[in-house]
Amino acid sequence: MTNAQPPILPGSTVKVTDVRSIYNGYIGFVQRITGNRAAVLFEGGNWDKLITIPIQYLDHV
C-alpha cells in the first residue's frame, strides 16, 4: 500500500511549503494548472491575491 497523495487539481485546498517564499504556510485554493505551476488564490480579510506557484511546493490540506 502506498502513501501517495491525490493529484492537485483546480478546486483543491493547498498549503505552500516553499521555505523561500513569503507565502510559506499560507493556505489557498487552486484556480488553474498550467504545466508544472498552479495559480493559487489566497483570501484574507480585505485582500485577495492570485499567485503562480510550482506544484512541487504545494501540499493538500
Contacts 24+ apart (CB under 8 A), 30-34: 30/58, 33/8, 33/9
On whether the pTM is more than 0.75, the answer is yes
pLDDT tens digits for range 1-48: 566 778 899 999 999 999 999 999 999 999 999 999 999 999 988 889
- Which of 11, 61, 19 shows the shortest CA–CA distance to 40? 11
Q: Which residue has the higher pLDDT, 55 or 44?
A: 55
Q: Which domains does the chain have, with CATH numbers?
A: 13-60 (2.30.30.140)
d(CA 6, CA 19): 23
